[in-house]
C-alpha cells in the first residue's frame, strides 16, 4: 500500500534525493560527507530554506551519523524511490517524511 504524499513531495523528493546524494558525497572519495555539506545541498538542490535544511540534516545525522555504511548508501542513491523502497535504507522513507514535515511545519 503506498502512502499518499502531499503535492510538494513528488517533485521535491527527486530534488531531495539528489541533494542527499550530492551533499553526503561532497567530501569526495565516495565518503558519507558531513552535515554542513548536506545543509548546503538541501538549500541549493532541494529547495529548502536554511533553517529547514539545518533541521533536516541534523535529524539525518543524529539518526544515521554513527552508521557510515548507511550514510554511504544514502549518498549513493540518487533516487528517492530506490532509497525508500526494497533494498533501500530500512525505515528511511517514513523517517525522512516525518522529519521534513517537522522541519518545514507541514
Residue 106 lies in a domain: no
The whole-model pTM stands at: 0.72
Residue with the three cell numbers 517524511:
97
Residue 24 has a pLDDT of 57
Residue 4 lies in a domain: no
* Residue 31 pLDDT > 60: no
Q: Mean pLDDT in the chain?
A: 74
Residue 3 lies in a domain: no
C-alpha span between 25 and 7 (Å, rounded): 28
Q: pLDDT category, 20, cuts 50, 70, 90?
A: low
Residue with the three cell numbers 502531499:
6
Residue 2 lies in a domain: no
Domain interval for residue 94: 9-101
Residue 88 lies in a domain: yes
CB 89 within 8 A of CB 70: yes
Number of folded domains that form the chain: 1
Amino acid at each position: 500500500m503506498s502512502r499518499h504524499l502531499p503535492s510538494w513531495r513528488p517533485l521535491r523528493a527527486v530534488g531531495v534525493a539528489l541533494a542527499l546524494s550530492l551533499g553526503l558525497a561532497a567530501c569526495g572519495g565516495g565518503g558519507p560527507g558531513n552535515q554542513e555539506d548536506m545543509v548546503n545541498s538541501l538549500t541549493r538542490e532541494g529547495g529548502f530554506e536554511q533553517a529547514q535544511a539545518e533541521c533536516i540534516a541534523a535529524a539525518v545525522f543524529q539518526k544515521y551519523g554513527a552508521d557510515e555504511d548507511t550514510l554511504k548508501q544514502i549518498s549513493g542513491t540518487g533516487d528517492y524511490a530506490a532509497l525508500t523502497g526494497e533494498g533501500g535504507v530500512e525505515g528511511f522513507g517514513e523517517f525522512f517524511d516525518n522529519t521534513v514535515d517537522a522541519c518545514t511545519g507541514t
